[in-house]
Each structure stands twice: as structure tokens, then as C-alpha cells.
Structure 1
Amino acid sequence: MFMKFIIQKSGFFLLFTFLGFFSANAQETGSISGMVTEKGTTNPISNAIITVYNSEDSSKSGATESDATGNFKIESLSLGNYRVEVTMIGYNTAVVRGITLTKDNPNYVIKSVSLSQGMTETEEIVVESEKSAIEFQADRKVFNVENQPITQGGSAIDVLKNIPSISVDNDGNVSLRGSTNVKITVDGKPFGLQGQNRSTILDQIPANQISSIELITNPGAKFDAEGTSGVINIILKKSDNFGYNGNIVLSTGTQDKYTGSLNLNAKKSNWNVYGNYDYRQMDFNMRGGFQRYNFIDPNAAYLDQNSSGRFRNNNHFVKAGLDYTFDDLNSLSLSGNYMYRDGKRNGRINTTQYNSQNNISNQLFSITGDDRTGYTLDANLNYLRKWKNSKRTLTGDFTFSRNDDDLNSFTNENPITPPNPTPLNRKQINKDGTNNFIGTLDLTNPFSETNKLETGVKATINDIDRNYRTEDYNWNTNQFANNVGLTNQFKYKEQVYAGYVSYSGKLDNFSYILGVRAEQTNTDGELVTTNETFKTNYFDLFPSASLSQKLGLTEEISLSYSRRIQRPQAWALNPFKQSIDAYNYFSGNPNLKPEYINSIELSFIKYLNTTTITPSVYYRQSDNSISRVRQLLDSNVAVVTFENYAKTKTYGIDFIVNSQLFPFLNINGSVSYFKTEVDATNLATALVNENSTMSGRVGAMFTAPDLFNLQVSYFYSGKITVAQGTLDPFQSFDASITKDFFDRRLTLGFRVSDIFNKMNFKVNITNDQNFREFIEMKRDTRTAFFTLTYRFGNYKDQKPPKRRRNTDQQQPQQDGFGF
């Protein structure tokens, strides 16, 4: 009840903000503010003259003087590009160029302008405007996360937890608008994230390497049609500052967590070379269990299992790249990512089984553990060709990825009731390998400033080999022997060949994008152990449309539609059973069909003086929806597998607010409500379920110049419905603080995640006539991190300062920022 109260209050707050700001007079204006200080000290300079010039025509746009504290603010500036001159008798003149005021970021803050006493030179500084926390583009929302203290020392999982419409549970499973069937890419590439260990790989991508998250809920024809609820694209950082620059980041956390990274970049003339290395050691404690009520076997009426364990993961992440510009029309980029991982796990399991008279029928204690190693290699070649006197472009992109994982695990059972002199001792040796090749060619041909045609082709080839071997200890021969029933090799090859056409245009304030994508899918599966094969070939068309109408200078409404597909993953198709423990197995389903999705979304954007408001409503219908199910294999053993549900309908609303209330305070929040209706009557007449879910997120960033940055974030996810039952609500509250030293060369940070330790994972299986089961997992999500960052070289996002003599001060001229 308390959590519902919190999220309802958050929703009321955002709704009140929405209504309140709508009643205000929105203006297409912005402001420039800052502080003037004496160089070498923190002493403020009062009565300095600050003049703002328009970069388009060098006309004077405003002027003021700094107050007694050195602060100044010039308001009522039209959106556009500006430069600022700061003068004071007896001091040098400072010129700040490259300031841009936009709808997303109408208020620019110059942290500090330092003047030198007795100097006669003018110091010019070209700055890059800070990105807005949220950017709204034609087909996506972009969340800029590189300067968020809340994720310091964390991973991509921690970053995704703070993105509206995205939910991440205690086990690292990512869902978008209630669906875990979301396509996740890194720089538009798969990066091994299409496999069974997606959450593991995401947890190994360091947060300090991520620049932004792109959220594409209704992708157009240019994007792959894969993904039920859309695409999440993780953009990694890439520096292109002239000269050399870099940084070192060290972090330590509670429960033996350590990270360190080195980032380097060098740019000169036509060359840009960059490289990053990151090391992460993460230790986690895990506990959990389940209670199963069996309705078909009175001797196994109730099963209670409790487990605990400790994990240690060591990860190495390397990124390197080279950009070369041949001339104004041709450029080439080479880049690669390499991630190596190894981990250990040790656990204990207590299992007790009762009959219908509540007497113990079976009791055992098990010791488990595993060693795992793996790597992900991603290599990319990109070529860009432009045409002279034309905006036509041709892009070629070719990517090869290799993902490899080895797992050696063991289970030693110690029966208590009844005693067993030959208990189960089991070893499992799993080897998974995936090769992925992607080749694309994209042509963009503008017919005018507002109309263009885009077309392209793409080939995606996945080659997967999964080899599982299980050995049980033979007490007669005193050695391990192969368990044929749990040993198999599964090979799977998927080829997708695609082509698309997209046309976009604009008529006054109305714009549109119309497109269609064609995909031919060929799959070949081979069960090497039994010499069985299966093939599927199918062709699909995926139309898409996006319509947008500006309702004035500050309002825009858009309507979009897309048809999409969710193909079965290889690990969900392999029918051979894998043993998790004596009472739990996993098995794929080779009869899975592709899931087809039709999605429609209506969005509205309102730009206000300091606030952006975005409500969206959507409807999504999935036919043959692929879902995880849990079934009783016999009276004792449950198996997790996959089935196609007849139909799943989801409709809901997202409401996002981003507000820069003051230069030092940014507040953002979101509330999502959706209802899911699940129809699995093709499996059993009783498998029908529905539920409404509300989730919300509220965050604030407080910036005290020259003092500290403070960020807090709260997230709540309501109950989620599946055909067999529900997932319980979960929540998290995080906070962080950073402090800069030595002109931002050194930054110290402290972060605490899940302060109240409320991130739990609990599943209730109640909609099955044979059994009921309640599963709960919990790991130590409450973690504190201390982080140190040191920057060197030309570390600022600016060009080197230029100096000129005061005698050269004449009428300001064009500075080139108006193009």
C-alpha cells in the first residue's frame, strides 16, 4: 500500500506540473547566465559588463552587469546561436562562443568566466552547449547519460534502470513497456545481446563508457523489424577533441566490488584514434527459493526449497577505433570491442518435500558451483561517401561479431530423508559459440530541403553451436559417466535478408515518413545428437508510417504505426533438457512460431520556457506471442520452456516531464500505465489473464557550481501479468554526489544504489490446474560506490583557447555558427 501511495503521489505531482505549466504563457525565448571571477582565485568580480551578440549577424541581443556575487543573467533571448563578451576595466576581455539556445535547452549556464587582472589580451573560448537530458527526435527519444553521477561505478544495467518506459528487475531482465522481447543493440550492433546471457553482458558494459540511450518504440522501415516492443540502442562514448586527451576512473564498492578504466583519444588533421580499457570485479550474494503445491501427487504435495550463494565476476572491456577523412567527400572508420569475462559461483540448496499428511517424504542438502569464461568480439568497418554539390550520401557498414561462453558446473546432493548411499553427483560442461555477420548499404537521396528518399539492403547471418554435456558419478566404477539423456549438441543457422524504402516529406507544418521493409528469413536447425533437422523459410512485409503536425512554435503531435516480428531465439528452440537441480529443468521448444506485432502510438510534445512535456498513448497486439511457461514434467520435476500464446494485447500511456526549473536544478519524471490481456486458450481453456500495471520514476539533479553535484532517483514498478500468474511489484531509490577539484581535472563521487534494499524478484504461478508455485530471488542490490576520476590532456569539450591583441578589437564579425 505504501508503494502504491508513493507512485500515485508521483503521478499526481507530474499531472499537476503538466496542468500548471500548460496554463502558463509559453515563450520561444531563453536565457544566458553565469558567474565572473578573478582568474587564479574564486573571488567574484562585480560590475563586469556582459554583452550578448547574435552569431548570425553580430547584432547586439542584450547586455547586463555582474552583481556583487559575480553572477549575471540575460533573459528574453530568442532561440538561436550566440557569443558572449565579458569586459572589465583593468582586466582582460573574455569571449565565449558557440552558445546555442534550443527548445530542449533554452537556458544556458556558463559555469565561470575568469578574467586576469592587468592583461591586455582577449581570450576566446569556443564551447559546446550541454546536451539536454532528454532529446526528442523524429523517430526516437534520446537520453543523454554521460554526465549522470547516479551511475558512477555501475554498468549498463544501472543506466537502463534510470530510463523512462524501461524496467529492470532484480535479475537484470530488461523490459520495455512491459515486454522483455525488446531488441537491444550497442551502437546499432548486436554485441552478443541476442543470446540467453543478455543480462550478463549488459552488466559487464561499464556505465562510464555510455554516452546516451536511444529509445525507439515504433521503429520505421530503416530499422530491423525484430523486437516486440521496439529497440533500445546503447551509444558508447567516442571523443573527437583535437590534440590528445584522456581520463582514468577508479571505483570501489561494498561487498568486494572494484572497477578501473583508462580512456585515451588523439586527433590531428584527418586522423582520430581512440581507445578504452575497463576492468570490473563484482561480487554478489544471492538468496532465494520457491514453494510448490502439487495437486496431482499426494506424496509430493508440498515442496520447499531455499538457496544461497556467492558470485564473483571479473570482466575486461576494450574498445578501440580509427577514423580517417580522405577529403570532404570520403571517410572511413574502423572500430572494435572486445570483452573477456570469467566468473565463479558457489551455492547451497536445502530442499524439503512433504506429503498430503504434512509428513516429510524427501529431504536433501546440495552443494553447487560453477566456473565460467567467455568473450565477445565485435569488429566494424564503416565507409561514408558524399556527393559534391549534393546532400546525397552512401553508407556501407560491415560488422563481424563472435560470442563464446564456456560453463563448467557441479551439483553434489546429500540426501537426509530417506538416506541414500549413492547420491547424485553431477558435472555439466556447456560450450556456446555464436558467429554473427551484418552487412548494410544505405543510400539517402534528398530531392529538396524537406523531401528525401532513403533505401538500403541488409544481410544478417547468425551461426550458433551449443554443445551441452552432462556427467553423473557412477558409484560402482568410482568415475563420472556421460548422461546420454542430458547431453546434446544443437546447431542453428539463421539468415535474414532485408531491403527497405522510406520516403519523408514536409508540407508547411505537416511532416511524414512512409516506408516498407521486406525480410526473407531462412533457418536451419540440427540436433546433432539425434541426427534430426528442421528448416523454416518465410517472407514478410513490414509497413510503417509516421505523421507529425506542428500546432504552433511550441507544440507538436505525431501518430505512428509499425508492424514487427519477434523470431524465436536459438536457445528457446533446443528441445533437450538442461538440469538446473533435481527438481527444476529447462527445455526449449522447436515448434515455436514467429511472433507478429502491430503497434500504433500517438504522442504529443509541449515545449515550455523551462520544461518539456510528452504524453504518449499506445496500443500493441501480438499474435503467436512467445512466452516463458513453467510446467510439471512429472510429479516432482518442473520444467521451464516456451510456448506461443494465441494473442497478447497491451495498451497504455506514458507521461514524461523534463524541467530545468532553475539553472542549478533539473527535475525529470515519468509515469507509465498499461494494461495487458493475455489469451493462451490455444494451450488450455483456463489460460486467460489480464492486469493493469503502473510504474513511475522521479529524478532530480542539483548542481551547485564549484561545490558539488547531487542526483537522486526513485523507481517503482507495479504488478506485471503473465498467462500463468503475476510478477510482484519492485522499487529502488538511488542517490549520488560528486565534487570537482583542480578545474575539473579531478572528480570524486559517492553513490548508493537501492538505499532501502527493496529490489526483489517474485513470481506467483497461480493459473495452472496441476500446481501452484511461488518463486523469490534476491541479491545484494544495496551497494555503495566511491569513484575517482582524473582527466588529462585537452580534456574539456572545447578547442584550445585563442588569443588576440586588444588592438584588433573592432566591430564583431560573423563567427561561423550561423550555418
Structure 2
Amino acid sequence: MQFFTKSCTLLALIGAFSAIGQSQYQISGAIENENEEAVPFANVVFLQATDSSFVSGVVAAVDGRFQAQLAQGYYLIHVSYIGYRKTYTAPFLLQTDTLLSAIRLQPNTQQMQEVVVEAKKVNVEVKPGMTTYNLSNTTGLEASSAMDLMQNIPSTAVGMDDEVTYRGRKVAILIDGVATDVENILEQIPASQIASIEVISNPSAKYDARNGESVINIILKKNSTIGINGNIAATLGGDHYKKLAAGANFSQNKLKIGMYGNMRWDERLDRQTSLRTAYYDNPIHTRQLYTGNINEIAHNYRLSLSQKFDGGALVQGSMALGFADYRNDREYAISRTRADTDERVTLRDRQGQDSRAWNRSSLVFRKPIGENALKITAKAGYSSRKYAFAFVDSLFVGEQGFQRIARTDSIQDDLIPDWQLELLGDYEHTLPGSFQLDYGAFAKRRITSRHYQYYRLKDSWELDSIRSNRYHYLDEEYGGYVLLNGQHPAHETFTFTVGGRLTYTSIRPEADGVDSLTTNNYWSLQPSLQLSYRLSETSGVALSYTHKNKAPNYRFLNPFRTIYSPSFMSYGNPLLEPEVIQTVELEYDKSWKDNKVFASNSIYYRNVSNATVRHRFEDDQEVINNTFANVPSMGAVGLESITQLKLVKKLKVQNSLNVYNAGYTTYNADQEEIRRRATSLTSKTSVEYTLPKGTSAKVQFNCFSDVLTAQGSMEGYYFADVYLRHQLFDKSVNLNLRMADVFHTWKRSVDVDQSETFVSESIYTRNTSRYYLTIAYKFVKSS
């Protein structure tokens, strides 16, 4: 009830502000393309309806919106933009403030057809603060997932646990503008369902920074044809990989319905070798090798609905759910040597069962109010996980031979439904001149409980109450934001956004057997500024600054130990403080030869105070502890360059390069300050060539240099993927072959050299080198 009361109070503020008076005789609207996407910087000219004489003109903003003030009278509007047909509206009478329906432009397919189509369908489009990667008709989509696409987005990397980072930091993932934090969500979305990917490197105060400082928004394909269209796909791959997927879209009048589902069977093989030396009076050298396999069966389903009403109101709803079962088996061989003792070898078997389920639903209501617009979004979701595993050891010491030791342990780790509720309200208020005020309020609540049970087998299974625990977590956020958007009165190609976000955060963890855990309640003010200037139709510059406060993830705060093996445990740190992040970025983009040559360059600087880092050390029981800690600061300055060439009709080359210098300021065990810096680079190149008779091929090459971490470094690596596609029956059938990691070079090599207790080196590999063969069928039935 308290959450509901606070939510309603915050959203009521929007209604109060919306009572601000409106300017007389103001006309506003938006320019869209055939896919209902905003067309920025289109020319909007107002003409007298009687003789088509010129009255006034404006340039649409980056979001496609425009506004002007006119005297009472009859008008018509002429809209033009490169690559689109010139469009005229029907004559209308202006006698009060008016919000027009969206004006939709159609591609110009008659004049300079080849140039126009390629200009609109380039892989990369840059708007101030946002880079969009268009994926329509890209070779290899049918045989890929959204996770595979992330590997090829500039400056992104995918970790061992499928966590996506951008420029070395965690990124927030949105699906059609709705935030999601579902584990492995990108593996569950087929690339063929994705129309484009938007990367917002330095988002304004309107965006929440909890799940990541940058934003990657995945835009799913929409049905633009009246009637039904859909697709069916089947995939076979190496290591018993199989996948069946089907989707359909229905559009009639103002109603759109989309459905999608897939089932996946996969077997992943993994292998890790690690070496470490622990420093005590008598150093211990440990070598560990494990090999394992994960058998997975997963189901994922998605339903979306969109309904437009007379008067411009729009209701959108979506629901995504999934469940998966994993069978995880590993075999370990561990050898330890000490200078004054014999070598000791341990053989360990570990078997695990992992079951997960999740659901995310959202409901969006949007309605124009005069020349303004109100948007209310409600989101709810839950996830659960039941994880159980057991390990058994065999021991060999010197010449005594193998012996079974009395150590058979079992662990049950249950994440009881993790509930998340969110209510947001956004109001767009048009002001006199070329200005707009956006403001909103939000309320978020997350409740989760973790039940960890540790059993030991003696005469029977006995619960180890010391190692078992229950952890409860409540996280609430309330606040709002204000943004002022506008154009310079004398220079309509100069636009700006300035604003701030005010947030109250309350984190209240509880744990059985612990009298008190740190309760963190705090306010944070997060200002932001974006400036952009279009130098011409083919070039522009943008400057942005943001200040963010990022609270720690609840998993990082859990103080209880998860014992993955007798020699390795992981736990959180309830004393973690929020990070303070400041980012500045300067962008410049330029295109030549009708967008056949394109380049975008960015210089950025980021500084993080109280940076949360992974901290590892070995205790006096010879157990590796994996936890988290705040370090005084972490910073990076870098240069990112993205280029695309299509000088030859059938050949398209895209390349990105990100070079940056990163540093950490930490302390050693004697509280002496340590500063460490290193330069790294990321390079990604794709070459796509269209062959005769519906065949195309693409090669993608990714290269990562050594990367500095708080306690060591990650060794560089590279990998390449090859795609082949053949289209049949007027492109309704696609045959795809994807050969992933063709040189078998993907790996993760991590060194720890700044710990006071040990140094280590580990190399982890998976069966990433394998093929995927997909046959996909698309159908369209217009009405």
C-alpha cells in the first residue's frame, strides 16, 4: 500500500504540471517514415491553402517533432527530406492550438532508386547521442541470436556469463524501449526478429542508470503490411544444437498483434586451466584443470499488442516468459605442491541441476493532450531459479594411492520469485518557440529472497546450519526528471537538451541470524546536457555530459557465502557504496557520395568514484574468496571510430576501432595508494558481398587487446565468424550457414597479480567453434 501511495503521489505531479497554459495558435506535429520511425531534420514548410504561397518554415528536431506559431487561417504543409518523396497535407483551418497527426513520408523509389535505397538502408545511422545499426536483410540473421549480434556492435564485449559490456562497463538492455534485466535474455531473441539496434553511449537524465551507464535498445520488427505475416525457422548445429522457432504478426486497421516462440536444445562444453601460487611461510603451488558440459532445454515466448484509437491515443502491451533446465557436469583434477611435502592430487566430480523461470510484462498508454503528450508505463515481472549441485572428492597423496575421502556435499540454492514492479509517467509539454519540456515521475520496487542450503553426507544427509542462510532484499526508488529540449532561435540546426534526475533510493537487506545489515537510504541529483549541431545534411557534431549515481546490484550486497567447491567461494559485500559516474563525449559524423562512405568519430572521458570491482584473495584455509569492493576511482579516456564503405554495389565493409587508456586507483594491504594504467583497443570488421542468384556471404572479425582490471589483466584474443545465405522462391525461403569461431581462437585468460595473498592465471574456453544450419520460411498474406 505504501508503494502504491507513493507511486500515485509522484504521478499526480505530472497532472499538476500539465495544467500549464498553452500558447495560442501554435501548431505542432511529428514526421515519421514508413516504419513509424522518427525522421530527424526534415524540412517543414507552411503554405497558404488558397495559393500555396510561402508563410513559414521550420526544421524538425532529432525526434522528428516540429512546432511553429501561425496566425489564424487555412494552411497546408509541405515536407521534404533526402531519400523521401515530397509530401503535402490536406488543407486545414487553424483557429486554435493544434497537434497534428504524424505526417508519414514514403521512400523515393523512382528517382535515383539505387542511391536512395542504399542511403536509407545503410548499416549505421548517427543521430546526436545515438548510433543505430540497421539489420534488415543482413546476411546471417536467420542463424544468429541477439547475443551473437552484440559481439559485432562497436565497443561491446560479451563476458563468460553472457554479460554485455560497452566500453568496459555494464550496459542496460531495452527491448522496444522497455528495460529488462532477464538473465540470458539476448540468447532468447533470434536475430531475424530484430529490425535495428540503438546504442546510446551517454544517455540523458531521463534514463535510469541502475542496470548500466549506457543503453542498448533492441528494436523488434513491426508488421507494416495490413494482414498477416510470419516466419518459421529450424536450426541444426554442432554438438547436438537444435532450435525450432515461429512467429506471426497481424495488422488490421489500428490493431497490431505479434506472437513469437522458440524451443532450444544445446550442449555446451567448457574447459578451464588455472595456475596459482599462494604466499605463506611455505608457498603453495596449485594447478587445476576442469572439463565439463552443460545440457540445456529452453522455451521462450513473447506476445505483443498495439491498439490506436481515434484522437491519437495508443495502448501497447507485451508479455515475455520463458523457462529452462540445465544439467551441469564437471570433472576436476587438482594438484597442490608445497616445498616440504609430497604432491597431493584431488579428483572431483560435480553434478548440478539448474531450473529457471521468468516473466516480464508491460503496459504503455500514450495520449496527446492538445499539443502535448502523456505517457504512462506499468511494468511487472518475476524470475525464479532453483540450483542444486553435489561434489565428491577422491584424494591421492604421494605413494599412498587413491582413497575415497568422507566428503560428499550437496547444495540447494533457490532464488524464490524475484518480484519487480515499476510505474512511470512521462509528460511532453510544448512551449512557445522551438522548445519542449519533458518531465516525469517514477516508482520502482524490487523484492527477492534467496534460500541457500548446504548439506553434508555422513550417515545421512545433514544440514550444515552454519553454511546455510536465508537472505531477503527490498529495494525501492522514487523520483522524477525534467528535461528542456529546444532549438536555437536563429540556428534551427542547433539543438540542445538540458535537465536532471532526482532519485531517492532505499536498500533494506535482511538475513537470518544477522542482527542488522547496512540499510542505505540516500538522495541523488543527476544532471545531464546534450548539444548538437548539424553542419550540413551530411555532417554534424554533438557534445554530451552526464552525472550518474549507480547503486550496487543486490547480488553484490549479499554477505553469505556460496561454496562452489572446497577451494572456492563467492559472496557479496553489504558495505558497498553507490558509484558516482561522470562522462563527457564529443561526436562528429560525416558521409560522402550519397552515404556510400560514412564515418563517425567520438572522443570520450569517464571517471567513476567508489567504483565497484571484483576482489579476489586466498585466505589462510587455502580457499579462494571472490567478493566485491569499492576502489577510490576508475577512469578511461578513449577514441572510437566507425566507418562504412559501399563504393562497390555488391560489397559492403564496416569497421570500428576503439582505443582507450584506462586506470584504477586502489590501495594495498598497508593502505598505500596504487595507481595502474594501460592502453587497450577493440577492433571489429565485417565484409559482406552479394553473389549472383540470391546468394550472399559475410565475414566478421573481432579483435580485443589486453584489458586492465583492478587486480590484474585479461589477455587479448580474437575470433572470426563466417555466414552464407541463399534465398529461394522470391526470397520467401532462406538457407543460412553460420560457421562460428572458425579459427577456434575464442578464450578468456585472466591474470591476478595485485593480490596480497596469491597470484593466478586462468584460461577458459568453450565449444564456440561450430556450425549452425538454418532453413527459414517467410509468409505474407495481405488483406
Shorter-chain TM range is 0.7 to 0.9
Cα distance change on mapping 1:362 and 1:185 into 2, 3 Å: farther
> Given the alignment of the two structures, is residue 363 of structure 1 paired with residue 363 of structure 2, yes or no?
no
Distance 1:266 1:182, change over 3 A: closer
Deviation at 1:486, TM superposition (A): 2.0
TM-superposed deviation, 1:709: 1.8
Shift of 1:368: 0.7
1:167 partner amino acid: A
Q: 1:60 is matched with which residue?
A: none
Following superposition of structure 1 onto structure 2, how do residues 531-542 of structure 1 map, counting pairs within 5 Å? 531-542=515-526
1:406-421 matches, within 5 Å, as 406-417=386-397, 421=404
For the pair 1:81 / 2:84, whether they are aligned, the reply is yes
Query: Quick check: 1:262–1:278 contact (8 Å CA) kept in 2?
Result: yes
User: Which letter maps to 2:394?
Assistant: N
Q: What's the secondary structure of 1:152's corresponding residue?
A: helix
> How far is the alpha carbon of 1:161 from its aligned partner?
0.2
Q: Which has the larger displacement, 430-439 or 676-685? A: 676-685
- Partner of 2:559 in structure 1? 575
Q: Compared with structure 1, are the counterparts of its residues 448 and 263 closer, same or farther at alpha carbon in structure 2 (3 Å cutoff)? A: farther
Among 741, 757, 763, which residue is 1:770 paired with? Answer: 757
Match of 1:122?
none
Q: Among residues 187, 207, 217, which one is paired with 1:233 in the alignment?
A: 217
> What SS class does the counterpart of residue 424 from structure 1 fall into?
strand
Local SS of the residue matching 1:258: strand
- Residue 443 of structure 2 corresponds to residue 459 of structure 1: yes
Hey, what's the Cα distance between the residues in 1 that align with 2:83 and 2:733?
Answer: 33
Pair 1:533–1:230, CA change in 2 (3 A): same
Aligned to 1:695: 682
Q: Which residue of 1 aligns with 2:662?
A: 676
Contact 1:435 1:462 in 2 (8 A): yes
The one-character-per-residue Cα deviations of 1:416-471 (angstroms, maximum 9, x if unpaired) are: 22765543111111111311111111111223673211111111111111111111
- Partner residue, 2:483: 502
Residue pairs, 1:82-161, within 5 angstroms: 82=85, 98-100=106-108, 107-109=115-117, 131-161=121-151
Alignment of 1:267-278 (within 5 A): 267-278=251-262
For 1:223 and 1:510, locate their aligned partners in 2 and report how far apart those are by CA, in whole Å: 23
Q: 1:131 to 1:445 in 2, by over 3 A?
A: farther
1:146-187 deviation per Cα after TM superposition (whole angstroms, max 9, x unaligned): 5333453332221100101111245533221122x3323333
Partner Cα separation in structure 2 for residue 184 and residue 628 of structure 1: 22
Point out where structure 2 has 5 or more consecutive residues left out of the alignment.
1-45, 48-79, 87-104
Judged with a 3 Å threshold, the aligned counterparts in structure 2 of structure 1 residues 707 and 771 are, in CA distance, closer, same or farther, namely same
Residue number in structure 2 paired with 1:88: none
CA contact 2:147–2:186 (8 Å) conserved in 1:
yes
Number of the residue aligned with 1:381: 363
Q: Which residue of 2 aligns with 1:446?
A: 430
Shift in CA distance, 572/280, structure 1 to aligned 2, threshold 3 Å: same
Over aligned residues, Cα RMSD in angstroms? Answer: 2.5
Counterparts of residues 109-508 of structure 1 (less than 5 Å): 109=117, 131-179=121-169, 181-193=170-182, 198=183, 200-226=184-210, 229-298=213-282, 301-357=284-340, 359-388=341-370, 390=371, 392-417=372-397, 421-432=404-415, 433-447=417-431, 450-474=434-458, 478-507=459-488, 508=491
Instruction: Give the C-alpha shift of residue 769 in structure 1.
Output: 3.1
1:651 CA displacement: 0.6
Offset at residue 217 of structure 1 (A): 1.2
Separation in 1, partners of 2:160, 2:384: 25
State how far apart, in whole Å, the 2-side matches of 1:101 and 1:538 are: 56
Q: Secondary structure at the match of 1:158?
A: helix
Query: Alpha-carbon deviation of 1:686?
Result: 6.0
Aligned 8 A contact 1:226 1:564 in 2: no
1:225–1:563 contact (8 Å) kept in structure 2: no
How many Å apart are 1:687 and its aligned residue?
4.2
Which secondary structure does the structure 2 equivalent of 1:620 belong to?
A: strand
Q: Which amino acid aligns with 2:344?
A: N
Shift in Å at residue 401 of structure 1?
A: 1.0
The 1:470–1:78 alpha-carbon spacing in structure 2 relative to 1, beyond 3 Å, is: closer
One-letter amino acid of the structure 1 residue matched with residue 666 of structure 2: A
- Aligned residues of 1:414 and 1:423 also touching (Cα < 8 A): no
The answer to whether residue 623 in structure 2 is matched with residue 615 in structure 1 is: no
How far does the alpha carbon of each residue in 1:90-145 deviate from its partner, in whole angstroms, 9 at most, with x for none? xxxxxxx932489xx982359xxxxxxxxxxxxxxxxxx96331121233112223
Residue pair 1:463, 1:494 contacting (<8 A) in 2 also: yes
Q: Secondary structure at the match of 1:107?
A: helix
Q: Which stretch has the larger CA shift, 608-617 or 234-243? A: 234-243
CA distance in 1, matches of 2:692, 2:442: 48
Tell me the CA shift for residue 791 of structure 1: 1.2
State which drifts further: 262-271 or 221-230.
Answer: 221-230
Q: Secondary structure at the match of 2:743?
A: coil
Q: Which residue of 1 aligns with 2:100?
A: none
Deviation per residue, 1:40-68 (Å, 9 max, x gap): xxxxxxxxxxxxxxxx99xxxxxxxxxxx
The DSSP-based 3-state class of the residue aligned with 2:178 is: coil
For residue 780 of structure 2, what is the amino acid of its counterpart? G
Cα distance in structure 2, aligned partners of 1:78 and 1:328: 27
- Distance in 1 (CA, whole Å) between partners of 2:225 and 2:306 is 13
CA–CA distance in 2 between the matches of 1:144 and 1:78?
A: 19
Cα offset, 1:78, TM superposition: 8.7
Q: Aligned with 1:757: secondary structure? A: coil
Aligned residues of 2:129 and 2:544 also touching (Cα < 8 A): no
Q: Which amino acid aligns with 2:269?
A: N
Alpha-carbon distance change, 783 to 660 in structure 1, aligned in 2, over 3 angstroms: same
The equivalences for 1:641-660 within 5 A come to 641-660=627-646
d(CA) in 1 for partners of 2:84, 2:196: 24
Q: Name the structure 1 match of 2:102.
A: none
Provide Cα deviations, 1:54-87, integer angstroms capped at 9, x if missing partner.
Answer: xx99xxxxxxxxxxxxxxxxxxx9924249xxxx
Q: Separation in 1 of the partners of 2:610 and 2:304?
A: 42
Query: In structure 2, do the counterparts of structure 1 residues 234 and 99 end up closer, same or farther at CA, with 3 Å as the change threshold?
Result: closer
Cα 1:575–1:379 change in 2 (3 A) is: same
**Could you tell me how far apart the structure 1 residues matched to 2:136 and 2:286 are?**
47
Q: Which amino acid aligns with 2:434?
A: T
The code of the aligned residue for 1:182 comes to: V
Contact 2:129 2:542 in 1 (8 A): no
Q: 1:228, 1:565 within 8 Å by CA — same for their partners in 2?
A: no
Instruction: Report sequence identity in percent.
Output: 22
Ranked by relative contact order (alpha carbons within 8 Å, sequence separation 6 or more), the top structure is: 1
Q: With structure 1 as the length reference, what TM-score do the two structures score?
A: 0.79
**8 A Cα contact 2:248 2:258, kept in partner:** yes
Whole-angstrom CA distance in 2 between matches of 1:775 and 1:593: 30
CA distance in 2, matches of 1:100, 1:165: 34
Given the alignment of the two structures, is residue 628 of structure 1 paired with residue 626 of structure 2, yes or no? no
Distance 1:279 1:449, change over 3 A: farther
From the superposition, tell whether residues 479 and 741 of structure 1 become closer, same or farther in structure 2 (CA, over 3 Å).
same
Q: Is the 8 A contact 2:331 2:347 kept in 1?
A: yes
Q: Contact 2:599 / 2:641 at 8 angstroms: preserved in 1?
A: yes
1:262/1:687 CA distance change after superposition, 3 Å: same
Q: Partners of 1:81 and 1:520 in 2: how far apart?
A: 46
